[in-house]
Chains A and B, each alone.
Chain A
Amino acid sequence: MIDQFLQFFSILFDLVSQPSNLLILFASSFIGILFGAMPGLTATLGIALLTTLTYSLNTDTALISLLGMYVGAVYGGSYPAILLNIPGTPAAAATALDGYPMAKRGEGAKALGLTTTASLIGTLIGLVFLVVLSPAIATVALQFTSWEFFLLALFGIIISGSITSQDLVIKGWIAGFLGLFLSTIGRDSLQYFPRYTFEQSQLDSGLEIVPVLIGVFGIPQVIRVLSDRETLGKLTKLSRVLPELAVIKRNIKHIFRSACVGVGIGSVPGIGEDIAGWVSYSVAKKTSNPEEQKKFGQGAEAAIVSSETANNACVGGALIPLLTLGIPGSPPAAMLLGALLLHGITPGPTIEIDHPNFLLEVTAILFLASLAMWANGMLLAKQVLKLLQVPPPLFIPVVGVLCVMGAYSLGINIFNLYIMLPVGVCAYFLSEMKFPLAPLVIGLVLGSMADESLRRALMLSDGSFWPLFDRPVAVILLMIIVGFCAIQIPLVRRGSSAFVNRFFRRANRK
């Protein structure tokens, strides 16, 4: 343990001792805050575009900039949420409910001070969970066989499809399986047989993940923001942003609970910061006393603190399955996975064997990124507000060009653009019809793992499915998957709610 601490501080010192690293960290964190603050731009898109710029950098520097951007963007969404009542990112939607009433009361700076400190604490708690849980999960995951990995991929799609769907769960599943199908394009890894390449040699290696992700997250935003012709309201005036430590101390119970909610939700595959923010908000409301409950929606400090702590704690949570199992916990983490793969790092249970101390390195970078985010938030809030006044029809076309340049520069291949655009346009239409895009991305990322694991498992068992039932983890995963699917059948749903009513509510009444 002490060795690990020493190692952590040694890595931290190495990172800090290079001024270029610090400069990149602060710059990427500030750009991240801008990405989060600009309505229409998201953390995922920011990471996607930055990935292309970090292609030629070494892995450490690339990670510094990507994690700086990630943490900054998740926090940055709170600016327009508080000052304009427009969440900069979906993760800040719950913050707008109470942040904007505070800003209208002339307490915008106070609200921003609260979100900045709450976000810092949230990220740090997420980081602690990452350090404590990851080695244990990785040790367990080392015992996993191909069956478990196949079921984990399926579990990720089913869970993320079920939870991220806005109306029908089936739409989430369709998106997930579409992603799985897209991952089968290209030559298969076992027999090198060309699948759905239609004699296009550029498709032999399959769809490049990063251009496809840029298409999925960038192009729909460009089309949507321009065609909706959204105009921003007038910004409320801002005084000096202060850390608001006294208020933080008053809300410490909300902070710790929200951090746990954020980490928990972040570690479930494919479910991102937005859901963490909402769940934490509603839990905070439910657990507050009636007096406090009345203040929710009218500028309650507890509400802002809860949603912001949770969405930033989600960053650490999302990295747990990413680093230990190779399964991204949120859409930005999926993008981060693409970036890591580009730099020759394959996350999974063997990451500490392949790249010793990688986990500590990520922890140290995340620690620095959260400090950079806090410092930027305290010192440069007014500069962010100036840039927030640029109208979307001026900067969104530039984002479109960045998407094109980003997709092209990965591999310097025009064919990447030919893939990115149709994927992006399809993603736009799907999202307009309320199909969630996160399961599609999870499917695309996990598809090759699912395919290879299934066939490898069947090869080892000579085509028999029985060995699956000998493995407890596989059986639990299978039961969860079946349970999630079965609960969607009206008959099963009615039966289960009748069961709950009959036994649990009666027990409560007693």
Chain B
Amino acid sequence: MPTRCHLNRSIFRDQIDMTQEIHHVAEMDETSRALARANFKVGLVLLIISVTLFVHTLSFPMTGSYGGVENQWYVSPALFPLLVLSILIVLSGILIIKMWKECDYFNAPTASRGTKNFKDRKNQDKWYVILLLCVYVYVYIPSADFYLTTCLFLLSLILRFYLQLTGMWRGVLYIHFPLALTLLSVRSVNSDVFSWFLADSIVDEPLILINDLCCAAALCVLLLASVINLKDEPAKLLKVWVYSLLIPLILICAFSFLLYVPMPVEYGTVSSFLNYLVYDILGG
């Protein structure tokens, strides 16, 4: 015979299970609603872009003469893009309507605290990776030595995601903001306008040297952070250094001397040194 205490306990357990289930269902509902809202936004952005491009496409030669050839509508370079854009406009319109019905856009409840915290952390990580990739590709690679910039990129990601630096040391990971600004300023020295965007890498050797020194200084700061945080774990420190310093060196040597791919900044300090070592000293 179950006692009163046992019965109470099982009722209590059922209640907890039910509450957990309700929370789970609410969370699922919230996730799908958030997805619907995101899809609504995507549909809207896609619609605006498609309409803008559609209008731009109307400026392509349609039936007039182009390049001395009498044009017909069916050979126009606008035909296929117009067809694709029309379909995209229709599809994004359908997506917007579907999502509008699904997500109740203006009356959606706010996210619960726990989920929000998790999402905040995930969002921060996501944006950190995206911004670092942007800085690496658009600022570092065309401005400074490829090896130094690659080590910086790798070490920053490894420190954040493998070592999971906390407290004061986490601030070191934002060294890229001042460094990126410095590199952008340095590479604009000889140009008439402040160039945020370079279609080609820089070739001015003194400027490359300044950029390399700045990158080396930033790299030293990150290396110091890794040493201080891992002073009790030499094996882990070695692993971090192998992945952030040795592997890029191997990759660069493989691409430069086996596949004969010149590095983006040819006169970078390390690239020049490696070229000197392989071709002049070793006679490769």
Contacts and interface: CB of A to CB of B under 8 A. Distances in A.
Interface string A387-401: 000010111111011
B251 A459 contact: no
A53 interface: yes
B91 A173 contact: yes
Contacts of A415: 199
A267 B76 CA distance: 34
B157 A181 contact: no
A507 interface: no
A contact patch SS: helix
Interface string B241-284: 00110011001000100011110100000000000000000000
A430 B57 CA distance: 25
Nearest to B79: A455
B69 interface: yes
Max count, chain B CB within 10 A of own CB: residue among A178, A397, A402: A397
Interface string B91-124: 1101100100000000000000000000000100
Contacts of A174: 46, 88, 91-92, 95
B141 interface: yes
Given A219-B133, A433-B35, A433-B38, A393 B158 contact: yes
Nearest to A395: B243
Nearest to B94: A170
A458 B75 contact: yes
A417 B74 contact: no
Interface string A32-71: 0000000000000000000001011000000000000000
B181 interface: no
A223 B137 contact: no
Contacts of B61: 191, 193
A434 B134 CA distance: 24
A200 B199 CA distance: 9
B138 A171 contact: no
Contacts of B94: 170
Please classify how large the interface on chain B is, using the bins under 10, 10 to 19, 20 to 34, 35 or more: 35 or more
Interface string A418-430: 1011000100111
A409 B254 CA distance: 12
Interface string A367-401: 00000000000000000000000010111111011
B126 interface: yes
Contacts of A228: 122
Contacts of B239: 394
Contact of A393 (B75, B162, B248): B162
Nearest to B125: A227
Given A455-B74, A459-B74, A226 B259 contact: no
A195 B60 contact: yes
A451 B82 CA distance: 11
Contact of B77 (A190, A391, A418, A462): A190
Interface string A213-256: 00000010011001111000000000000000000000000000
B39 interface: yes
Given A174-B88, A394-B239, A463-B74, A414 B161 contact: no
A223 B129 CA distance: 6
A435 B264 CA distance: 34
A245 to B, nearest CB: 40
Nearest to B239: A394
A202 interface: yes
A398 B42 CA distance: 31
Nearest to A450: B80
A334 to B, nearest CB: 19
A18 to B, nearest CB: 19
Nearest to A201: B199
B260 A56 contact: yes
Nearest to A456: B75
Max count, chain B CB within 10 A of own CB: residue among A177, A202, A435: A177
Contacts of A222: 129, 133
Given A177-B88, A223-B129, A463-B74, 4 more contacts: A196-B56, A196-B81, A222-B129, A417-B137
24 contacts: A168-B95, A174-B95, A177-B84, A178-B46, A191-B75, A193-B60, A223-B130, A227-B125, A227-B126, A229-B125, A393-B162, A396-B157, A398-B243, A398-B251, A400-B133, A401-B251, A404-B141, A414-B201, A417-B141, A434-B35, A450-B80, A454-B79, A455-B75, A455-B80
Interface of A: 53, 55-56, 168, 170-171, 173-174, 177-178, 180-181, 184, 188, 190-193, 195-196, 200, 202, 219, 222-223, 226-229, 391, 393-398, 400-402, 404-405, 408-409, 412, 414-415, 417-418, 420-421, 425, 428-430, 432-435, 450-451, 454-455, 458-459, 462-463
